[in-house]
Amino acid sequence: MLLVGMPVMGDLQVRAKHFVRGKVWRFIVALLAACSAFGVIAPAGLASPGSTLSWVKRHPAKSPAARSLAAMAYDAATRQVVLFGGGSGSGQGFGDTWTWNGSAWTKRHPANSPPADYLAATAYDAATRQVVLFGGLSVTSGPARVLDGTWTWNGSTWTKRHPATSPPGQFGAVMAYDAATRQVVLLGGANRTRYLGGTWIWNGSAWSRRHPASSPPAELGAAIAYDAATRQVVLFGGFSTSSRVLDGTWSWNGSTWTKRHPATRPPAVWNPAMAYDTATRQVVLFGGSVRTTRLLDTTWIWNGSTWTKLHQATSPPALWEASMAYDVAAGNVVLFGGRGSKGGLLKDTWTRR
């Protein structure tokens, strides 16, 4: 940091101090990221305030085509963000796999892949060190097919799994890894005739349905993330069977869902993007649709008890149906694609640090 009018030697001393502090801070962020990936909680005082961070538009040399509703998760085994599929805007889905290394997108060419789809649910399973993908809508020709396949990504290829028991075919469900129980949680979604409200658990080899005492309403298009600070899965928003956009905040403690009643909360919204920011130890929520004619460009953070709206100088445009994940290696939230206010598909990459 250069201070105007400061003698040269003093300037060098200030630079040196900031360099050292920067290295220490990067080490702390990396340590927090590693702790979060495996469900270990670090002291809250080490994190920087989420309100001081800002969005930055990135300009990689190449990127996935414009799309919405793609499946995206951080793969801690390869230290890269993985993106699969998404909607093309013409009613068809993509079937490509891309990885983000913090500065560039790379198209991968796995030997096997899930069928082209969108509205699939995905999460990184830290217990097996693989990305898990389930369900979605596949449209290649003719009517759309509702998928019920379970696939895992090992860093180089996709493998279709054949568990004895499986959730019904569905699209628009949400999925998160519950580090406290070391299991993947799947909730909600819809099939051709109805909305689904079941809670399912993936233990790395099999699915099992849970029957919690309370649950969110049957819905699709909600947002979900694991809050490592509170060791609970957090869910917000969605679109319900009564054709209502929801504003409920729910948490999963490994056995049941609890509806929270924060003092402040985002407006009722569906298909927003959400991820847990390891560095600030807060859940970040962006965008979403209040109605099909009104999209949001606001950033909200969840600190475990309430939501806070941030007022940031730079921000992605109003959008919904975008994909978001926390890039542990780079230490920032990554947002990709979505659909803008005029209905067009986006291919922008944004990071928040």
- pLDDT over 60 (residue 25): no
pLDDT tens-digit readout, 105-123: 999 999 999 999 999 999 9
- What is the model's pLDDT at position 329? 98
Rounded mean pLDDT, 235-259: 95
Question: Which of these ranges, 38-47, 147-156, 311-320, has the smallest mean pLDDT?
Answer: 38-47
CB atoms within 10 A of CB 308: 17
- What is the model's pLDDT at position 353? 84
Gyration radius (Cα) of the chain, Å: 20
- pLDDT over 60 (residue 35): no
- What is the model's pLDDT at position 50? 60
Q: Are 339 and 99 in contact (CB under 8 A)?
A: no
Q: Are 39 and 71 in contact (CB under 8 A)?
A: no
Question: Which of these ranges, 18-22, 62-66, 164-168, 319-323, has the smallest mean pLDDT?
Answer: 18-22
3-state secondary structure of 167: coil
CA angle 295, 350, 114 (to 5 degrees): 85
Q: Are 236 and 223 in contact (CB under 8 A)?
A: yes
Rounded mean pLDDT, 217-230: 97
Indicate the pTM of the whole model: 0.85
Rounded mean pLDDT, 230-247: 93
Share above pLDDT 70 across residues of the chain, in percent, rounded to a whole number: 85
pLDDT tens-digit readout, 41-51: 433 334 345 66
- pLDDT over 50 (residue 165): yes
- pLDDT over 60 (residue 286): yes
Half-sphere exposure of 41 (CA within 13 A, CB side): 13
Question: With bands split at pLDDT 50, 70 and 90, how would you rate the model's confidence at 63?
Answer: very high
Q: Is the pLDDT higher at 242 or at 257?
A: 257
Half-sphere exposure of 181 (CA within 13 A, CB side): 18
Half-sphere exposure of 130 (CA within 13 A, CB side): 18
Task: Please give the CATH topology (third level) of the domain spanning 48-352.
Answer: Neuraminidase (2.120.10)
- pLDDT over 90 (residue 267): yes
Question: With bands split at pLDDT 50, 70 and 90, how would you rate the model's confidence at 343?
Answer: confident
Amino acid identity of residue 294, one-letter, is R
- What is the model's pLDDT at position 44? 37
Distance CA 211, CA 206 (A): 17
Q: Are 71 and 84 in contact (CB under 8 A)?
A: yes
Rounded mean pLDDT, 167-177: 97
- pLDDT over 50 (residue 61): yes
Rounded mean pLDDT, 337-345: 93
| Domain assignments of the chain as residue spans, ordered by start | 48-352
